[in-house]
Amino acid sequence: MVSTKDRTQRRGRIPSAIFIAGIALLIVEACAYLVGIASPGILFVLGMVLTLIGALCSAFTDKGKTKAEDVITVFLGICFFAWIGWRSFMP
């Protein structure tokens, strides 16, 4: 049988992986900027979207009570960066 501790740990792995992937893309974009490599910014936008999606998933999988204001703020951030990416990178 699977204990509740194992379930809790497994439930937190997916949001953490999404969040870490977003942070990694942001770091790659920042390093490219510091080195002087020209970049269209897709890594930045994708990194922000993934980071915010990871935060939103984490808020829903957390055992504590999530505030509606926090969820709405993160959701609006996801919508904003998705809109920026769509407007900038879609032909």
HEC readout, the chain: CCCHHHHHHHHHHHHHHHHHHHHHHHHHHHHHHHHCCCCCCHHHHHHHHHHHHHHHHHHHHCCCCCCHHHHHHHHHHHHHHHHHHHHHHCC
pLDDT of residue 48: 95
pLDDT of residue 11: 63
Domain span holding position 85: 4-89
Per-residue model confidence as pLDDT tens for the chain (91 residues): 556 666 555 667 888 899 999 999 999 999 999 999 988 889 999 999 999 999 998 888 877 788 888 889 999 999 999 999 999 888 7
Domain count, the chain: 1
Note the pTM of the prediction, 2 decimals.
0.79
